[in-house]
Amino acid sequence: MTNRRTFLKGAAAAPAAALATPALAQSTIRWRMQTYAGPALAEHVIDPAIKMFNQIAGDRMQIELYYADQLVPTGELFRAMQRGTIDAVQSDDDSMASPTEVTVFGGYFPFASRYSLDVPVLFNQYGLNEIWDAEYSKVGVKHISAGAWDPCHFATKDPINSLEDLKGKRVFTFPTAGRFLSQFGVVPVTLPWEDIEVAVQTGELDGIAWSGITEDYTVGWADVTNYFLTNNISGAWAGSFFANMDRWNELPEDLQTLFRVCTDQSHYYRQWWYWGGEASLRVHGDKLKLTTIPDEEWAQVEAAAVAFWDEIAAESETKAKVVEIIKRYNADMQKAGRPYRYS
C-alpha cells in the first residue's frame, strides 16, 4: 500500500500543478490548497472551481491545488491550515479533526438531512453559518462557505438485506458516522483514502460507508464491491471551504469575493452532478447490485439517530444549539409535506 500511495501522489502532482499559470508576476499572491478528495473525485468536486479562480485572477493570485494526503494526511489538514503550512482547505470538519464544537456535525451527521438542498438551507437560512463562523474564528481559521455532497450509503462485498447483516462488517467511514453505526455491530476502520480500494480487495475491509453511488463508480470502489445498499444514514455530506485567517484577511476584498463566487460555483456543480449521478447509476449502472433493508426495520436506525442527537446535544451548549436547529428544520420540512418530505 505504501508503494501504491507513493505512486498516486506522483500521479496527482501533474494535474495539480497544471492549475497554476506558468509565468507569474513577482507580486502574485500564491496559495497552497489541499482537498480531502483524490484526483478522480477532485476532477468534479474542486478542480473546475480552482481553474476558474486562477483564470480570472490571473497575475494577481494563483492557487496551487493538492489532492488527498498529498501534503499532509487528511486528519492533519486543520492543524496545517491553522499554522499556515497550507493556506486553504476543502474538507468536512469531522475528517480534518477540527478542534471546534461543531466538528461532529461535519461529514455525515446521521439523518440530519434528507436531500442535498437541506444543507445550504440549514447554513444560509437556519443560522448554521453564524455558528460555524464564530467557532472557527476562535481558532484562527476562516470558514468561507458550506455545501452539500452526496448521501451516505454502504457499498459492500456481501449483500446487506437486514440490520443483522451489518454485524461485524469492517467498514471505512467517517468518525461520527462510525460512532453512530457501531451500535449496529459495524466495525469502523480508519485508513488513508487512497488505500481503500486495495483494503477491500485484500479483505481488510468488508465495505465502505463514505459516499453515494456516484463516488463508488468515479473513484473505483464499484470495481471492488458488489452491492449497494439503497438505505442511507444521511441525505448529504456537509463540507466546507476554509482558509487560514491571516491569509484570508490579507486578500483584497475583490479577491475574497471572487473566491466566494468560485466556491459557490463548486457547490452548484456538485448539486446537479451528484443528484443526477445517484439516480442514473442506480438505474443504468452495471457494476453494483442494489439491496434494501425494509422500511419497518430501517426505522430502528432512524429512531436511534434521534437518540444520538440528544447524546451529542448533552456534550455542550453549542452542540445543543446546533441539534435544536436540526430538529426544528426537520420538523418544518415534515410539516411542509411533499416535496420536502414524503413521510
**219, three cell numbers:** 473513484
b/e string for 152-172 if b means 16 or more Cβ within 10 A? bbbbbbeebeebebbeebebb
Does residue 6 have a pLDDT over 60? no
- The CATH number of the domain covering residues in 2-100+120-147+238-279: 3.40.190.170
State the DSSP H helix or E strand holding residue 280, giving kind and residue range, or none if neither.
helix 253-284
| Average pLDDT score over residue span 128-150 | 98
283 pLDDT higher than 90: yes
User: Mean pLDDT score of the chain, rounded to an integer?
Assistant: 93
Domain 153-234+285-336 = CATH 3.20.20.70: no
The pLDDT score that the predictor gives to residue 193 is: 84
The stretch 247-253 carries a mean pLDDT of 98
Instruction: Say how far apart CA 215 and CA 153 lie, in whole Å.
Output: 10
Q: Band of the pLDDT at 4, cuts 50, 70, 90? A: very low
For residue 343, what pLDDT band results from cuts at 50, 70 and 90?
low
pLDDT band at 197 (very low <50, low <70, confident <90, very high): very high
Q: Give, to the nearest 10 degrees, the angle between helix 47-57 and helix 253-284.
A: 150
Find residue 30's DSSP bridge partners. 62
Q: Is the pTM of this model over 0.85?
A: yes
Residue type, 56: I
Q: State pLDDT tens for residues 201-211.
A: 999 999 999 99
Residue type, 269: Y
Q: What pLDDT is attached to residue 20?
A: 47
pLDDT tens string 305-319: 999 999 999 999 999
* pLDDT tens-digit map of 291-340: 999 999 999 999 999 999 999 999 999 999 999 999 999 999 999 999 99
Contact 228, 37 (CB under 8 A): no
Q: How far apart are CA 186 and CA 57, in angstroms?
A: 47
pLDDT in tens, 83-93: 999 999 999 99
Give domain limits for the chain: 2-100+120-147+238-279, 153-234+285-336
